[in-house]
Structure 1
Amino acid sequence: MITDRLRLDGRTVIVSGAGGGGIGTSCAAALAEAGATIVAVDRDAQRLADLPDTYVKVEADIFTAEGVQSVVDAAPAPLHGLVNVVGGSLPPHWAPALDYARDQWDSSLDLNLHHVMFLSQAVARKLVEQNTGGSITTIASTGGVVAAPFHVAYGTAKAAVLGLTRTLALEWGQYGIRVNAVAAGSITTPRATKTVQDPALSKRGVPLGRRGTPDDIAAAVLFLISDLSAYTTGAVLPVEGGALQRIALFDDDNVPVHVTNPDILGRIKGSNA
C-alpha cells in the first residue's frame, strides 16, 4: 500500500535543533512515530535531556567541523537522512538595511546558512559510502522566497538555502540522494511566542486564518524524508497557510487594493458593499 512508503523502520534520521519544543522537536517525534531511529542534535544539554530516551542524543556545535563530524559518527547505520532545522531570525537581526551592521549580517548567515551546507555534505558523504541513497530536508522560510524587509540577512540566508537545495539535488541525484526544502510561514514556536504579542495581528495575510504549528511543518518533513516523495528532489514545499499566494496588491479581504471603482467593488463584495 502507498501509505507503507511513509514508514522509516530500520532507518536513521539526523535532526539538528531537535530540542526546545519547536519545529525540530515535532519533526523528530513525527519521524520516530514512522519508525525511524532519531539522532537528536542540540548544543543545549538540557534540551536533549527533555527528549525521549529512545533517541540517540548528541550534544554538538554544528557550526564547527568537529561538531558536524561528531554528529555523523554517532548515527547508527544505516543512515537514511537529515533534517536541517537550526536557524531563525533573532531580535538583534532585525534592522533597516541602511543601518545593518557587519556583525548582524555575519551572525544571521552563520545561524541560517553555513551549517546547512556542511552538515548536508557530511551526511551525503556517508550516504554515498553506504551506496543506499537517502533524503535531506532543510527548513527554509517564505522570507527566502519573497522579500524580507528589515531582516535582510535572514531573507538572504534563506534564499541561499533554496539555491543550495536545488544545486545539491542536481549534484547528488546520481547517488539516489534527494534534497528538498520546506518554506515555512508564520509558525508558533516557543521562540516565536516571545516576539509575537498579538495573535490576532500575527495571522494577518494568511488565507487559512491562523498561524502554523510545528506539527504542520513536521508533516511536510515526514513526506519529504520518506519514500512517499521518492520522485521528488530539488523541491521547495510551501507550508504557509497560503500566504505566498497573496501578493501585496491584495488586502486582507483578498480584493486588489488598486480596485476602487464602486461598481466593481459591488460586483465583488455583493450589494451590501
Structure 2
Amino acid sequence: MITDRLRLDGRTVIVSGAGGGGIGTSCARAVSEAGAVVVAVDRDQDRLDAIELPGELVRVRADIGTPEGVQAVVDAAPGTLFGLVNVVGGSLIPHWAPALDFGREQWDAALDLNLHHVMFLSQAVARRIVEQGGDGSIVTISSTGGVVAAPYHVGYGTAKAAVLGLTRTLALEWGRYGIRVNAVAAGSITTPRATSAPQDPAVAGRGVPLGRRGTPDDVAGAVLFLISDLAAYTTGAVLPVEGGALQRLGLFDDENIPVHVTNPQILARINGTSEN
C-alpha cells in the first residue's frame, strides 16, 4: 500500500528544537508515530524532559550553534541515521526593526538563530549518511518570510530566504548519495512562544484564505510527507504550509478585491450585483 511508504520503522531521525510544545515537538511526535527512533535536541533540559513520544526517544541537550554541539547530536544518534528535521529558529523582539535602524548585533543574532546551524548540522548528518552508504532525508523549517519580502524583519527574512537557497544547493549536491533535501515554508503558526496571549480568531486569520492560523501539527504533517518515502522523488522543493496566504498579493483586501479598484461598475461585477 502506498501509505506504507509513510513508515519510518528502523530509521533514526534527529529533530532539532524538539522541546517547548511547538513545531519541533509536533514534528518529533509525527516521525515517532511513523516508527522512527527520535533524537530530540534542545538547549533546555526541562523542555527535553517534558517530551513524551510513543516510540523510542533519545534526548540530547546541546547547542547546535557550536561545532561541539553538532557533533554531540550526531554521535548520540543510534542505529541507522536516516533523517534530520531542522526546526530551531524564530524571531526575537529585538529582530523587529526598520532596516535603516537594524544593527550588526541584531543581524548576526538573526542569522545565527535561523541559518548557520542549518548548514552545519545538515552537513554533519549528511556525512554520517554517506558513511553508511547513502539514503536519507533532510527537511528544514523555513518561512513565508523567506519566500516574499518581510518588512521590518530584515534579518529574519534574509535568513529564511537563505535557508531556501541552501536547501536547493544541498539537494543538487547530495542527490548522488540518495539524500533528499527539502523545506517547509511555514506561515502564521500558533505556538506557545508565538502566541503567549489569547487571540481573536477573526483577527488571527486575517489575510489567510483558509481563515485561520496554522497549528504545529499542520507543519508536522508536511514534514512527515517530505521526510518519508512518499516523497521519494522530491528534492529541492519548498512546500508552503500557510493556508493559502502566499496566493494573494498584498494589493487585495480581506474580500479578495483589488484595493486600487474604485470603479463602481467593476466592483458591481466582482460582487455579483451587476445587471450586465
Short-chain TM bin: over 0.9
Q: 1:248 Cα deviation (Å)?
A: 1.3
Q: Which residue of 2 aligns with 1:17?
A: 17
Structure 1 distance, partners of 2:99, 2:206, is 24
1:187 paired with 2:204, answer: no
- CA 1:174–1:84 in structure 2 vs 1: closer, same or farther (change >3 Å)? same
- CA 1:196–1:104 in structure 2 vs 1: closer, same or farther (change >3 Å)? farther
1:251 paired with 2:253, answer: yes
Q: Which residue of 2 aligns with 1:154?
A: 156
Structure 1 distance, partners of 2:198, 2:95, is 16
Q: Which residue of 2 aligns with 1:43?
A: 43
Structure 2 distance, partners of 1:84, 1:168, is 14
Q: Which amino acid aligns with 2:88?
A: V
Structure 1 residues without counterparts, runs of 5 or longer: none
- CA 1:59–1:173 in structure 2 vs 1: closer, same or farther (change >3 Å)? same
- CA 1:139–1:173 in structure 2 vs 1: closer, same or farther (change >3 Å)? same
Within the candidate set 66, 72, 93, 2:68 is matched to 66
Matches within 5 A, 1:1-273: 1-52=1-52, 54-194=56-196, 197-271=199-273
Structure 2 distance, partners of 1:271, 1:63, is 58
Q: 1:172 Cα deviation (Å)?
A: 0.2
SS in 2 for 1:92: helix
Structure 2 distance, partners of 1:108, 1:168, is 22
Q: Deviations over 1:236-261 (max 9, x none)?
A: 00000000001112111011112211
SS in 2 for 1:57: strand
SS in 2 for 1:40: strand
Structure 1 distance, partners of 2:79, 2:160, is 31
Q: Which amino acid aligns with 2:25?
A: T
Structure 1 distance, partners of 2:209, 2:252, is 11
Q: Which amino acid aligns with 1:6?
A: L
Q: 1:138 Cα deviation (Å)?
A: 0.1
After TM superposition, the score normalised by the length of structure 2 is 0.96
Do 2:202 and 2:211's aligned partners in 1 also have CA atoms closer than 8 Å? no
Structure 2 distance, partners of 1:245, 1:105, is 29
Q: Percent identity?
A: 79
Q: Which amino acid aligns with 1:106?
A: D
Greater alpha carbon shift after TM alignment, 212-221 vs 91-100: 91-100
Structure 1 distance, partners of 2:146, 2:197, is 20
- Number of positions where the alignment pairs a residue of Structure 1 with one of Structure 2: 273
Structure 2 residues without counterparts, runs of 5 or longer: none
After TM superposition, the score normalised by the length of structure 1 is 0.97
Do 1:143 and 1:159's aligned partners in 2 also have CA atoms closer than 8 Å? yes
**Moved segments of 4+, more than 2 Å:** 194-202
Q: 1:199 Cα deviation (Å)?
A: 4.0
User: Cα RMSD over matched residues?
Assistant: 1.4
